[in-house]
Chain A
């Protein structure tokens, strides 16, 4: 079991990448041939083809010594251009940052979240302009003051110049990121420690569970210690230092509790997400729960006191991870239909662990048969038959994995072929004891290796082994959630219930997020240096910045437009609709004018499609939300795509940079 829902497939990604790069290169060659035809006549394309092998040749003859020489030059240049002033700004920000961020009235989780977000945002947005401007201005400046003339008249290759530049800026950027990242870490740690004035922790003192409650207020320090069943001992001191002097043993105890509390606040939880589905009041599966009015709602609801259930299916629950039990963490949102005195009361909730078996059936020709047509054979208990085209044929059962199944039209079907209904059989059901949830806090449910429960059928208490009895052969475990209070609705989304693996340390999650910032800046360097090979400094900076904006903020919007999901048609059509005040849902009149408009819009849409596919999806680099919310950064969802994107852009950018530098006169105009 790992925290990944869907593993990132590098092979598939590489395939897609190769396809995209090939398409890009073909487009580039076609464009260049067309241009060459215009400038050089019929022999133009020939010229283009003569140029093609030069890039790989140049790359193969790359000399590391020259690359490092240029990288070092770039680095020195940036340093001597006072790029390190950014450190000063960083320091300033942090000196005053705590003034604005410290808010003793805020809950500790929110404060911690603020600190982490602040640090990661500050690092990103301080370094972004520095890195962007440096990498976009380096080469154009070199061309402007013609110092590049003395370099290209030496045996330095164009790829060496480009790679050297990229390397130089990246080195500088790496140093900046590492230093700022470390400073940020220390700062977060200190701020949280400083603001942790109230905590209560259960710690182990000589084998005895001891509750230490600590409050540090203006009036003084109060410590309450409850060891086992003994009565609570209350100690007060004027200050923390006073406590330390007066009662060193107690101080040591509070210190231990404090460190534990710190570890709880600064943590990288590793959630294993399951897939969510619902079961309606009629007992049939459905994709979504009850809607409480807001169609944009992220959560859907199950009704309390009914047969509504929310269902999570977890995969890879193998003995390696579950032998010592599992930890389920949940936080649900309640929607009350009646308000009253009981508003303070918490909601009663029940989990059930279910072992299910998912199967599809195949006939003798290995064709998959939908489970709706399958029944048990009359002759043989373990055999199945189905009616296909009016005839009864023998079929055999095959297991399917949970991630291949989804709910559609009130039945479980294969994702790849929604026509095929999957048979889901419930083999064992173990309802756990109900519990009250707090509405915002997190509920922790510990599943021991042995599950004891009350079996309603037999009316007895039963004990089952978690891994061997409740997890099915494919290593899957189903958790069903019911709300027992009628009149209440409980909101659920995929992330609201997860299996918690032992947490990583905060440092791990934080370093991954810093890594994300680093890779994003690396990509900016690559894009910036490339842009600066064919554009002047300001324009190159603008282009790179626009790429960043589009790739960060406009991506979802672009996806919608390109996917045709936006109402009111393409850009021209929407302008006309606005000018003529035609409602977006109205049909446009059918005439040549409007069909021309639609045609142009279609063309523009193609353009947007290209833009969407050329601009890197910078959203992948945003890992701060994971860390700020106390989660580890998953490899497949965040780390791998980021590494992939940065590497993927390197090769096409080098191609563009090489030909831009080779085909232009390096003369300032």
Chain B
């Protein structure tokens, strides 16, 4: 009877696993436009032992991630990015709303065959060494011994840990742990990679490698969802981004679209002398426009981010609702009918 006690504290995941017979490979089929991740009205309330609500970590989040894109989740600390990822992976159960990931429900085990996940901190087994770690995860994917040996070598080489291969993870520095965490996430050559702050703790070279890797993954047709606080990195690699604030979606769109302000033009040249500058101002005025600033370019995603957070703070309650996500949920109904 003690089991019920445990069940009592948690929300029972309502979603149903799709039976094996039902379309297992449709989501990956390139011809379909089916998004890799579909989130509808997702809410998460953390509760304490007695079931009393503690924190509303996510509030009615709806978004899609398409196949082959690099999607960035942004937001200040505690805005619900990690929560979203854990919900996607079935580590947490939603308090409301629906998730479809690779065409399956979040709690489905088989979908994990095609997913790679790098947790926020590398939660690995500290008593294993790098080789044992990767070998262990390889076995969880039911890989043969030969296959594992080859992959373990390849990924350890890729993350640059060949020299520390036989040392236990508890001796690793933060960045080294991060690297082995990344190798662990990629060992199954996943179609969908979820990276929770992949660049924290990495040295500049590592950060650069990480960015290159993400771009390479995209070139290989993989889908990447990442969250990060390093906006410059996000701007460099992400196709689309979402900005969360206190569990609510505040911005969603293509990075260029979000950053391009249609009413303004910014001019950038190599260094000019004062005479040339005056001449240019003259030309602009002749065309009826005025010069507002001419300055050195800043990291503009940072501006967007700060502006969004600022606005959200000033005017709470405004939420971004993507046009293709209707507030009413016909999707879950379709899901239920199987």
CB proximity to A under 8 Å, residues B19-71: 48-49
Asked if A665 and B10 make an inter-chain contact with CB atoms under 8 angstroms apart, the answer reads yes
Rounded to whole Å, the gap between the CB of B81 and the closest CB of chain A is 15
Bound together, the chains give a CA A656 to CA B123 distance in angstroms of 26
Bound together, the chains give a CA A154 to CA B89 distance in angstroms of 10
By a CB distance below 8 angstroms, the chain A residues around B320 are none
Option from A72, A76, A534 in Cβ contact (under 8 Å) with B3: A534
Asked if B119 and A149 make an inter-chain contact with CB atoms under 8 angstroms apart, the answer reads yes
Known contacts: A152-B91, A534-B2, A667-B86. The answer to whether A147 contacts B12 by CB under 8 A is: no
Asked if B9 and A150 make an inter-chain contact with CB atoms under 8 angstroms apart, the answer reads no
Is A575 part of the contact surface with B, judged by Cβ < 8 Å?
Answer: no
Name B2's closest neighbour in chain A (CB-CB): A534
Option from A39, A76, A80, A535 in Cβ contact (under 8 Å) with B6: A535
Asked if A664 and B14 make an inter-chain contact with CB atoms under 8 angstroms apart, the answer reads no
Rounded to whole Å, the gap between the CB of A468 and the closest CB of chain B is 60
By a CB distance below 8 angstroms, the chain B residues around A662 are 107
Asked if B123 and A80 make an inter-chain contact with CB atoms under 8 angstroms apart, the answer reads no
Bound together, the chains give a CA A294 to CA B289 distance in angstroms of 118
Option from A36, A147, A665 in Cβ contact (under 8 Å) with B124: A147
Rounded to whole Å, the gap between the CB of A543 and the closest CB of chain B is 7
Option from A54, A149, A656, A663 in Cβ contact (under 8 Å) with B12: A663
Is A66 part of the contact surface with B, judged by Cβ < 8 Å?
Answer: yes
CB proximity to B under 8 Å, residues A10-52: 27-28, 31-32, 35-36, 39-40, 47, 50
By a CB distance below 8 angstroms, the chain A residues around B92 are 665, 667
By a CB distance below 8 angstroms, the chain A residues around B128 are 73, 76
Option from A145, A155, A533 in Cβ contact (under 8 Å) with B140: A155
Which one of B109-117, B234-242, B276-284 contacts A?
A: B109-117
Bound together, the chains give a CA A28 to CA B3 distance in angstroms of 9
Asked if A534 and B6 make an inter-chain contact with CB atoms under 8 angstroms apart, the answer reads yes
Proximity bits, A216-234, B CB within 8 Å = 1, else 0: 0000000000000000000
By a CB distance below 8 angstroms, the chain B residues around A151 are 140
Asked if B6 and A663 make an inter-chain contact with CB atoms under 8 angstroms apart, the answer reads yes
Asked if A154 and B125 make an inter-chain contact with CB atoms under 8 angstroms apart, the answer reads no
Rounded to whole Å, the gap between the CB of B2 and the closest CB of chain A is 6
Option from B11, B91, B127, B140 in Cβ contact (under 8 Å) with A149: B91
Rounded to whole Å, the gap between the CB of B45 and the closest CB of chain A is 12
Bound together, the chains give a CA A284 to CA B8 distance in angstroms of 64
Is A339 part of the contact surface with B, judged by Cβ < 8 Å?
Answer: no
Is A613 part of the contact surface with B, judged by Cβ < 8 Å?
Answer: no
Asked if B127 and A80 make an inter-chain contact with CB atoms under 8 angstroms apart, the answer reads yes
Proximity bits, B136-170, A CB within 8 Å = 1, else 0: 11011110000000000000000000000000000
Asked if A147 and B2 make an inter-chain contact with CB atoms under 8 angstroms apart, the answer reads no
Is B245 part of the contact surface with A, judged by Cβ < 8 Å?
Answer: no
Option from B1, B11, B86, B184 in Cβ contact (under 8 Å) with A39: B11
Asked if B91 and A39 make an inter-chain contact with CB atoms under 8 angstroms apart, the answer reads no
Option from B8, B16, B124 in Cβ contact (under 8 Å) with A150: B124
By a CB distance below 8 angstroms, the chain B residues around A54 are 17
Name A540's closest neighbour in chain B (CB-CB): B2
Asked if B109 and A76 make an inter-chain contact with CB atoms under 8 angstroms apart, the answer reads no
Is A660 part of the contact surface with B, judged by Cβ < 8 Å?
Answer: yes
Is A63 part of the contact surface with B, judged by Cβ < 8 Å?
Answer: yes
Interface residues on A, range: 35 or more
Asked if A153 and B127 make an inter-chain contact with CB atoms under 8 angstroms apart, the answer reads no
Rounded to whole Å, the gap between the CB of B274 and the closest CB of chain A is 60
By a CB distance below 8 angstroms, the chain A residues around B3 are 28, 534, 656, 659-660
Bound together, the chains give a CA A441 to CA B71 distance in angstroms of 87
Asked if B2 and A157 make an inter-chain contact with CB atoms under 8 angstroms apart, the answer reads no
Is A77 part of the contact surface with B, judged by Cβ < 8 Å?
Answer: yes
Asked if B112 and A153 make an inter-chain contact with CB atoms under 8 angstroms apart, the answer reads yes
By a CB distance below 8 angstroms, the chain B residues around A65 are 139, 142
Known contacts: A35-B8, A69-B136. The answer to whether A77 contacts B125 by CB under 8 A is: yes
Asked if A154 and B17 make an inter-chain contact with CB atoms under 8 angstroms apart, the answer reads no
Asked if B140 and A664 make an inter-chain contact with CB atoms under 8 angstroms apart, the answer reads no
Is A107 part of the contact surface with B, judged by Cβ < 8 Å?
Answer: no
Name A157's closest neighbour in chain B (CB-CB): B109
Bound together, the chains give a CA A152 to CA B127 distance in angstroms of 19
Name B14's closest neighbour in chain A (CB-CB): A47
Bound together, the chains give a CA A662 to CA B10 distance in angstroms of 11
Known contacts: A153-B115, A656-B3, A660-B3. The answer to whether A145 contacts B123 by CB under 8 A is: yes
Is B332 part of the contact surface with A, judged by Cβ < 8 Å?
Answer: no
Asked if B12 and A154 make an inter-chain contact with CB atoms under 8 angstroms apart, the answer reads no
Is A669 part of the contact surface with B, judged by Cβ < 8 Å?
Answer: yes
Is A156 part of the contact surface with B, judged by Cβ < 8 Å?
Answer: yes
Is B322 part of the contact surface with A, judged by Cβ < 8 Å?
Answer: no
Option from A27, A35, A72, A146 in Cβ contact (under 8 Å) with B123: A146
Name B138's closest neighbour in chain A (CB-CB): A69
By a CB distance below 8 angstroms, the chain A residues around B4 are 28, 31-32, 35
Option from A154, A531, A666 in Cβ contact (under 8 Å) with B137: A154
Rounded to whole Å, the gap between the CB of A473 and the closest CB of chain B is 54
Is B7 part of the contact surface with A, judged by Cβ < 8 Å?
Answer: yes
Asked if A149 and B123 make an inter-chain contact with CB atoms under 8 angstroms apart, the answer reads yes
By a CB distance below 8 angstroms, the chain B residues around A28 are 1, 3-4
By a CB distance below 8 angstroms, the chain A residues around B123 are 145-150
Bound together, the chains give a CA A496 to CA B119 distance in angstroms of 68
Q: Can you identify 15 A-B contacts, CB atoms within 8 angstroms?
A: A27-B1, A28-B3, A32-B7, A39-B12, A47-B12, A66-B142, A146-B121, A153-B115, A156-B140, A534-B2, A534-B5, A659-B7, A660-B3, A665-B93, A669-B48
Additional 15 contacts, C-beta under 8 A, given A80-B127, A660-B3, A663-B6: A31-B1, A32-B4, A35-B4, A54-B17, A66-B140, A73-B128, A146-B123, A147-B124, A150-B124, A150-B137, A659-B3, A663-B7, A663-B10, A663-B12, A666-B91
Residue positions of B touching A, CB distance < 8 A:
1-14, 16-17, 48-49, 86, 89-93, 107, 109-110, 112-113, 115, 117, 119, 121, 123-125, 127-128, 132, 136-137, 139-142, 184, 188
8 cross-chain pairs, A with B, having the tightest CB-CB distances, nearest first: A69-B139, A534-B6, A146-B123, A154-B140, A80-B127, A155-B112, A153-B117, A147-B123
Residue positions of A touching B, CB distance < 8 A:
27-28, 31-32, 35-36, 39-40, 47, 50, 54, 63, 65-66, 68-70, 72-73, 76-77, 80-81, 145-157, 531, 533-535, 543, 656, 659-660, 662-667, 669
